[in-house]
Structure 1
Amino acid sequence: MTIDEVKVEIRNKMNEMQEALDSDDLSKAEAIKAEIAEYKEMIKQLEAELAEVEDKEEDSETEVQAEEKSEEVESETRDEDDTIAELEAKIKELEAELEKKKAEESAEENKNIEEEKGERNMTEVVERVTVLDNKEEVRSDFQNYIKNNELRDLTTESGAVIVPEYLAKEVQDFTDELQALDKHVTVESVTTKSGSKPVYNGDAASPLVSVAELEENPKLAVQPLTDVKFDIETFRAYLPISREAIEDGIGAETLVKKILAESVVATRNAHILAVLNTFDTKEVTTLDGLKDIINVDLKTRHQKHFVMSQTVYNAIDKMKDNNGQYLLQNSISAASGKQVFGLEVVVFEDALIGQNTAYVGNLAEAVVIFDRSQYSAQWTSYMHHAECLMVAIRHDVKELNKDAVRKINFTVPVEETPEG
């Protein structure tokens, strides 16, 4: 076949495809679309063969003949390009119309499936009600309940309301939001897997020295900046939820997302504590011991607050000063609402940070999280009839300056009961 003959065939097929679309015969239209694609490939092959022949002819022509032929070829090429462009545009229109009709057909099928499912469920529900109470009015009353949520004459002889079991199920959520330690440390967003952050801990500053005129500037005795290196790791997990749990339990999917979110907080808490637990521990048994750490051990330049366990909080909450005033005071300036010695108090569970553990100082100057990314995904596991939810976080947690915080093991001596 020649190129012109193939174009004629394409036009014929385009007319057939339009007729199939007009009659909503999408399967036939799809088959004709494939045939048109084959003809388009045939044109490309014929054009390649023609170009090869023309190249050979040009080698044997004189300069004048070649010039005249070149003008003729250019004119024919323009006409041919216009024809091909016209065909391509029409083919795209037909393909777009086909895709639109396929989408409409798919939407209509899904709608019919949902309507059939709804009708089937309603039939099953009404049949169940009819078994419970053989009265025609119960049938219509329950249909009204389903549509308008009105309880009207829906009782048996025992006084119980007739409600299908699936409407009464709920997921019981006994989880609590975990407190996040990352609210109190430095979070540094990074865009690479590894690197370093320059840190100045304040210990390296020294006084300037006197220098004579035009003398060379002296170098400070120590280097004030140190690099904290990081290497990002990935931490991830997923939870499957059966389709039955999603369909039968109200809020099952939301609950699993909440559990995964708490897993992220728990992971960060564990990694922050792993760094804090490398700090030296101070044994403290009295309030004066706490004051020594705050007033002397920690540098005055560090902003300070308390992070303490429930047990330590409870012990301090019972203590009074020499005037009989409780040491733990309410504070409108502190985010937690409590302060001791003028410092904000943040309380964490014993199970998280340790029963007798407290930290005092500035956690933001002591620990840094190099935060790379957080990713969540959801997919359908057809083989298990389930939805799978996943979360992944990428970070590294490092020590910034251990002198900014003191870890405390706070125990109150047990008072001995006098004999007799």
Structure 2
Amino acid sequence: MNKKLRELLQLKAEKVEAAETAINNGDKELANSLVAEIKNLTTEIDNIQNLISLKDDDKVVDMTVENKVETGVQALQRYIKTGVVDAAGPLKESENENGGYLVPKDVQTKINEYRRSFISLKGYVDVRNVVVPSGSEVYEKTSQLVPLTNMTELGEIAEMDGSTFENISYQVKNYGGILPVSRFLLQDTPENLLAYLAKWFVKKQVVTENKEILEVLNSFTKKAITKVDEIKTAMNITLDPGFLDNTKVITNQSGFDVLDTLKDKNNKYLLQEVVTEPTKRTLFGKEVVVLPDTQFPKETDGSFPLYVGDLHEAVRVYSLNTLEILSTDVGGKAFTRNSYDTRLITRFDVKAVDKEAVVKLTFTKDLAVAVPLG
């Protein structure tokens, strides 16, 4: 072996031992210094070894398939004996036949779920559990009541108009689907696939309910605004004062981003944090509900939707029975294809009740915020 190479290999071995001692003693500074020296020595050793390999004219390289294939064990034995890295090289995991096959692959079967927001609008609207698939409710029309007329002594009392009424009818719709799962998959996977699917079904129901609720809200007459003051006007004038206690502000992510970055002249943000829940925001003291853009997209003209008001009075979900999840491995096609079929059925209808309880506004990124005088 080359004398210089032998000296470097010996020095490297000493440095490695010293570094291990430093690590065990908790001396991180010394350990880091020794590791840097080891890296430099390794580079110098590799250069000398490559030079020796190039100058070794006595080697006859046989390019037949049989002689090109050399196991990692043989390469390691040669390296220990001569200190020279040959064509096959030492055992390393980057090449399968030279040691990579010995390294176990990190194959995880656990089902990891991407964190996504699944806010259910059902929690903000009115929900009525019904026992029949169709029906109706009677409501007094919201026309303004007129006062009683003044009467004189012994004078004839004037007749007055009575109330007028309207019907709100519902017709429960049925939503469902069947998901077939191979029984071999259920038998062979170590994960609780059925528990995962149960959560997945609930997410499907939330998305379905939100879609139907938003379709009803989208039917409300909308008004485009250009100033934040118009939101206050909607709360103060457009909405009946009776709705203010339970008023919420609902928008999507893109709309929330615009509102959350607005500042006044004093560099104060328009939206305020909720002290007990720092991730939540309020607008003029009303809770801001944010839905994902994927579930609550922009308007067709590119503007952002903003609902202000009492959703509980504006929208009603007529729910017939609870979410039904039923599975079988013998019925339908399950027996012939050896599958485990799970059926999901949910039955409900969504209707607008009091459209005056919510104001639908739209705005763009150019929404202007009022600033204090002075």
TM-score range, shorter chain: 0.5 to 0.7
Where does residue 336 of structure 2 map in the other structure? 383
Q: Residues 352 and 200 (structure 1 numbering): CA distance in 2 closer, same or farther, change over 3 Å?
A: farther
Give the total of aligned pairs. 257
Where does residue 86 of structure 2 map in the other structure? none
String of CA shifts for 1:240-294, please: whole Å, max 9, x gaps.
Answer: 1111222233122222222221111111111111111111111112212222222
Counterpart Cα distance in 1 of 2:151 and 2:349:
44
1:293 aligns with 2:242: no
Cα offset for 1:209?
4.3
Counterpart Cα distance in 2 of 1:230 and 1:236:
19
Where does residue 316 of structure 1 map in the other structure? 259
Contact conserved, 1:366 with 1:405, CA < 8 A, in 2?
A: yes
Identity %: 26
Q: How does 1:194-233 map to 2 (within 5 A)?
A: 194-200=134-140, 202-209=142-149, 221-223=161-163, 225-233=165-173
Cα offset for 1:367?
0.7
Q: Which moved more, 1:315-324 or 1:399-408?
A: 315-324
Counterpart Cα distance in 1 of 2:145 and 2:206:
37
Larger relative CO (CA 8 A, sep 6+): 1 or 2? 2
- Residue 280 (structure 1) aligned to one of 221, 236, 241: 221
Where does residue 4 of structure 2 map in the other structure? none
Where does residue 312 of structure 2 map in the other structure? 364
String of CA shifts for 1:15-48, please: whole Å, max 9, x gaps.
Answer: xxxxxxxxxxxxxxxxxxxxxxxxxxxxxxxxxx
Contact conserved, 2:320 with 2:348, CA < 8 A, in 1?
A: yes
Q: How does 1:35-74 map to 2 (within 5 A)?
A: none
Cα RMSD of the aligned pairs, angstroms, is: 3.2
Counterpart of 2:198 in 1: which secondary structure?
helix
Counterpart Cα distance in 1 of 2:311 and 2:205:
20
Counterpart Cα distance in 1 of 2:269 and 2:208:
36
Where does residue 108 of structure 1 map in the other structure? none
Q: Residues 320 and 392 (structure 1 numbering): CA distance in 2 closer, same or farther, change over 3 Å?
A: same
Q: Residues 414 and 178 (structure 1 numbering): CA distance in 2 closer, same or farther, change over 3 Å?
A: closer
Counterpart Cα distance in 1 of 2:168 and 2:182:
45
String of CA shifts for 1:153-197, please: whole Å, max 9, x gaps.
Answer: xxxx9896889x99x532333363521111111101111121112
Contact conserved, 1:186 with 1:364, CA < 8 A, in 2?
A: yes
Cα offset for 1:342?
1.1
Counterpart Cα distance in 2 of 1:271 and 1:363:
14
Counterpart Cα distance in 1 of 2:180 and 2:113:
17
1:183 aligns with 2:132: no
Whichever residue aligns with residue 412 of structure 1, its letter is K
Q: Output the TM-score relative to the length of structure 1.
A: 0.55
Cα offset for 1:308?
0.8
1:305 aligns with 2:233: no
Cα offset for 1:199?
2.9
1:412 aligns with 2:353: no
Counterpart of 1:176 in 2: which secondary structure?
coil
Q: Output the TM-score relative to the length of structure 2.
A: 0.61
Where does residue 349 of structure 1 map in the other structure? 292
Structure with bigger gyration radius: 1
